[in-house]
Amino acid sequence: MRKILFTTFITLIISLISCNNNNTTPQQQNSEKEGATSLTMPDFDADSAFAFVKAQTDFGPRTPGSDAHKACALWLSEKLGSYCDTVILQQFTSKTYDNKSWESVNIIGEIAPEKTSRILLAAHWDSRPFADHDPNPANHDKPIDGANDGASGVGVLLEIARQLHLQQPEVGVDIIFFDLEDYGTPQSVDLPGDWWCLGAQYWAKNPHKTGYKADFGILLDMVGASNAVFRHEAFSYNYAQPYLAKIWGTAYQLGHKEYFRNEAANPITDDHLYVNTIARIPMVNIVHQDNSTGTGFTTTWHTLNDNITNIDPKTLKVVGTTVLAVIKNHK
């Protein structure tokens, strides 16, 4: 994904914060209120989630058209199918900014498909074909492992699916692994068009079931780094405020306030943007943003250093238990 800034949007958020005596937005105050009492920590095996992340990176970079991409798609569909009632492979062909066409697949798992109240969970499973932000220019055309940017969210969702298989939720859950998220224009290319998140764009226009609806959605992206910080990403704040408050409030109740900060953050072009604007399902992006770097993300973002050595099982568990608690307490 890439970061984009809309000055008026950020100005609005800053003004909301500055007008509040304790430097929090009204929605941030709601998050803190929801975190006033404690919750029971859901079962979530961090080692299992880490193993799911590593299994993906062991295939190598999951770039479109590669053998690793094909092999990982098969593994993901089989693994997700072992925990879900139904698995749907949504195949599509999409053209990228370089005028190449790719056979792609969104991998969708349904839990309790008969239930009308549903929660949508998502992450992207492809990895970036070029390390265009690597500190070594010689690496800019090399594909990345995408351990954090891609595999971490998928790993957490696979462990969530495994836990929900052991203890069925009261609501239906759909899990989507979006393809072709990270083939957007490299930093050296200035080209108009919507070249990111092509799998999410396709699904939002062509949902796997006609008239598909979910109460809300949660997107996981870059949720595996040590000491990650998750803030109120601006599109999530704009389109899905009540659910953002629910998620951050749940994290507070579980004791994860060092990770989930009640702070405004920049808007990001990511899969949730199209779920919100095209599918009209309110979706929150849990994503690690770092304002201390020049990119707004971690120092490993779109570099060859985005590998399994930089994944922390503790962070996977923080995110996984938060999402599971949200599911289990959704009414």
Task: For residue range 236-245, list pLDDT tens digits in order.
Answer: 999 999 999 9
Spell out the alpha helix ranges (H) of the chain: 7-18, 26-34, 46-58, 67-81, 152-166, 198-205, 234-239, 241-253, 271-277, 313-328
Amino acid, res. 250: T
Looking at residues 231-257, what average pLDDT do you find? 98
What sign results for the dihedral spanned by CA atoms 286, 178, 225, 313?
positive
Q: Point out the least confidently predicted range of 187-191, 251-255, 317-321.
A: 187-191
pLDDT of 19 reads 33
Q: How many distinct structural domains can be found in the chain? A: 1
How crowded is residue 95: how many other Cβ atoms within 10 Å of its Cβ?
11
Average pLDDT over all residues of the chain: 91
Q: How far apart are CA 80 and CA 77, in angstroms?
A: 5
Which CATH number covers residue 294?
A: 3.40.630.10
pLDDT of 331 reads 82
Range of the domain at 22: 2-328
pLDDT of 32 reads 55
Give per-residue pLDDT as tens, 208-223.
999 999 999 999 999 9
Q: Is the pLDDT of residue 10 over 50?
A: no
Q: Is the pLDDT of residue 77 over 80?
A: yes
- Kindly state the tokens that stand for 252: 């507070």
- Kindly state the tokens that stand for 148: 């954090």
pLDDT of 186 reads 93
pLDDT of 17 reads 34
Q: Is the pLDDT of residue 82 over 90?
A: yes
Q: Point out the least confidently predicted range of 26-40, 41-55, 270-284, 316-330.
A: 26-40
